[in-house]
Amino acid sequence: MTDIVEHHTLFIAGQWVEPAGTETIEVVSPVTEQVVGRVPHATPADADKAVAAARAAFDHGPWPRLSLVERAEVVTRIKDAIAARHQELAELVTLQNGSPMLFSVRGQALSAVGAFEVALAAAERFSQEDERPGTGGPVLVRREPVGVVAAITPWNVPQLTIAGKLAPALLAGCTVILKPSPETPLDANWLADVCAEAGLPDGVLSVLPAGRETGAYLVAHPDVDKVAFTGSVAAGKAIMAAAAENLTRVSLELGGKSAAILLDDADLAVAVPAVVGGTCAANSGQACVALTRVLVPASRYDEVAAALTGAFAGLKVGDPADPTTVVGPMVTRQQQERNLEYIRIGREEGAKVLTGGGVPKGLSTGWYVSPTLFGDVTNDMRIAREEIFGPVVCLLRYETVDEAVALANDSAFGLSGAVFSADPDRATEVARRVRTGTITVNGFRLDLAAPFGGFKDSGIGREFGPEGLAAYFEYQAVNLPAPNPS
């Protein structure tokens, strides 16, 4: 894709309409630093229009009143269209945020298909009502869609985070206003067309590319019943505070600073590729689930440090359109500068750069950061405590398993993690002790069939699988008459 992708209208209530304002969002390539896309910037007035349409569609339209099976037929068509055009979608995401094509195909486009698939599978097994015995007679427990949903998604894995909200919300019978990140609005508009072509009724979906002002207005809107957000901790706290004014339901998937624990018998042939795959190779490190703290027994520290140094140094950094590239650019100059500033802070704190530590040679154009491994890190350093969101990884020593677990848990976050051992049962026992939402034994995996979310500052609620679908329902108890005594 070389031409500028331009949109002059907004997708509101199932139609492409003129925006209320004149401001536009320019999408800048992280590779060339040139404008590659342009869309209207949605205003609060556009948000009012979208919310009013979503409210009317929920309160009076057909979508919530269809059976779950009928809604699933439409959602299946959306999923099938994404699957059929996944290469096109992957290229569009790479154009916007610089994800390597190696990751964009699987981690961006096909993962979105997977999120739709697991939501549909959960819907097949889902019961919207069941009767159970109560203390005074039978009770009919019903599950009703939560209502109008504001879905606010980030730039790093835009389609996966959209799918994790849109698929279950639609299946539940909700109506949705999607606010994608201003860095990545093009794929959201692409999805709007897909949904319209699949037969989604008017009013059920609107797409509002916008920055913080419109997002804050949407979150505080009294006609929004639920906010589903993926992004930073600071933004999540602001959303929760704003939502409290109307008691709006929230689900928040926020940051991470996840630990990979290598036990003393860990097989480095297994652990090293998994750590690479869970850090620098995971969207160039721009992943909330990244294994950014690697905890290593002091007795094996030098061995692990050498192996990871070699692996990181050997990663191909460059043009994300090249199918052999593993690490692409940061999404914005600001993200590049953030990573470089943390590298400076790490050096200042006394950590040792084992490899990387700056901008790769020959890549002065584009927002690149070399895969960087810090050694001699202690858990009180900022680089070990704060989310950097890039290809920067910390190596920490420990003496005992208890100390390793304590280090893993000594974090404001609790989103992901991993434990490596030649004995999977031993690793599983250690994994049970780590307070984190997802943890993998001898690997790195985000399984879309399982509930995903975090402990502590990593968020509230769960996405994906049956739990992700259940998050878009409210419960109603109907107390039925007690049977007449015979």
CB-based contacts of 33, cutoff 8 Å, min separation 6: 333, 365, 366, 367
| Mean pLDDT across the chain | 97
Q: What is the pLDDT of residues 430-485, one digit of tens each?
A: 999 999 999 999 999 999 999 999 999 999 999 999 999 999 999 999 999 988 77
Q: Can 253 be counted among the known catalytic residues?
A: yes
Alpha-carbon distance of 262 to 404, in angstroms, equals 9
Region 259-447: CATH code: 3.40.309.10
Q: Are 227 and 152 in contact (CB under 8 A)?
A: yes
Q: Which of 174, 288, 387, 463 is catalytic?
A: 288
Is the pLDDT assigned to residue 85 strictly greater than 60? yes
CA atoms within 13 A on the CB side of 346: 31
Indicate where the chain has its CATH 3.40.605.10 domain(s): 5-254+459-476
- Which residues lie below 8 Å from residue 178, measured CB to CB, with a gap of 6+? 151, 153, 162, 165, 166, 188, 205, 206, 207, 208
Position 486 scores a pLDDT of 63
* 192: nearest Cα among 78, 58, 64: 78
**Beta-strand (E) ranges in 318-371?**
352-355
φ, ψ of residue 187 to 5 degrees: the values are -70, -30
Structure tokens at 265: 């018998």
Please say if the pLDDT value at position 1 is more than 50: no
C-alpha 64/C-alpha 143 separation (Å) is: 12
**Set 253, 387, 394, 463: catalytic member:** 253
What is the number of other CB atoms lying within 10 angstroms of the CB of residue 203? 23
Q: How are beta strands 249-253 and 226-230 bridged, if at all?
A: parallel
CATH number for 5-254+459-476 (one of 3.40.50.300, 3.40.605.10, 3.40.50.150, 1.10.287.470): it is 3.40.605.10
CATH 3.40.309.10 region(s) of the chain?
259-447
Does the active-site annotation cover 288? yes
In angstroms, the CA 472 to CA 312 distance is 41
Model pTM? 0.96
What phi and psi, each to the nearest 5 degrees, are found at residue 115? -65, -40
